[in-house]
Amino acid sequence: MRSVLAVHPAQRDDIADLVTRRPLPGPELEQVDPFLFLNHHGPQTYPPNNHGLPFGPHPHRGFETVTFILDGSLSHLDSGGHESVIEAGGVQWMTAGSGLVHAELSPEAFKRDGGPLEILQLWVNLPPPLKMTEPRYTGVQKADIPALSVAAGNGTLHLISGEFAGATGPIESLTDVFMSTLELKAGAKTALQVDRTRHVFLYVVSGRVDVAGTPVDKWNLVEMTDDDDSFIVGAADDAVLLFGHALPIGAPLAARGPFVMNTEEEIDQAFADYRDGKFGDPAGLVAAGPEAPTEKV
């Protein structure tokens, strides 16, 4: 079976009043190709009359963002004309491709009333031929995501993309990325199958687990070997994990701020195109909120 190569703790890096932990990239791990970046916001509770999330309009090019709303809600608006409010348990998958400006903010009701909030955002790289693909966006609510029984009924896998146990996730990945969230009750154990040609992405959102014989606490990313097609995960107490896998891209990586390309020249061009307004800006996007802080890559 696969074994654990290393366990990487998330680094605390709050954004304004938003509690934020980042396991990837970290001091000892640049990426889990093609998975580039993960921010874990919360868990925390916002009071009434709060300012909500701080991610006003900002650009992206060359990769995809996958946002998991574990608790609370998220309002999305982008320069491709896509708009949605995704509630707890839902997911939004945005292919920035050739370039989009988007805003991810809290709905007015959340800012007025407050409440619990926990959100994960994962960046998934695109291979060179798809870097400039046409942007697209898919938002799905919890009810649209298959909830599949695992661990003899003591766990649930929420299938977002790819196939599992005869079911297909509602989001079709351009690069055959499998993505899910996995809930395990205390004492539950399950074997997960992943072809050895694919890289595993496994992050412990909450609880304590045992991965291939290695104990792993919450807020840690598990780096795994690729020498077998399966591994076992057991839960010491109730746990939630982000579980995905994909074929590695193996291409050169150039990343600066909100852009991820293959060369520095392509990064320079992305900044120039953004300054020239080539990413678009639909009516109302700028009014959605102040420009967001630049994410770190």
**Helix, coil or strand: residue 2:** coil
Q: Is the CB of residue 246 less than 8 Å from the CB of residue 34?
A: yes
| Residues 180, 146, 235, 208, CA torsion sign | positive
Place of tokens 């619990």: 116
Question: Is residue 104 marked as binding?
Answer: yes
Q: Name which of 243, 63, 250, 248 is nearest 162 in CA terms.
A: 243
Alpha-carbon distances of 127 from 21, 63, 94, 247, rounded to whole Å = 27, 9, 16, 11
Question: Is residue 107 reached through a cis peptide bond, with omega within 30 degrees of 0 on the bond before it?
Answer: no
**Alpha helices (runs of H) in 118-190, residue ranges in sequence order:** none
- Does the annotation place 58 within a ligand binding site? yes
199 carries a ligand binding annotation: no
Q: Is 76 annotated as a binding residue?
A: no
Binding site feature residues for Fe cation: 58, 60, 102, 104
Binding site feature residues: 58, 60, 102, 104
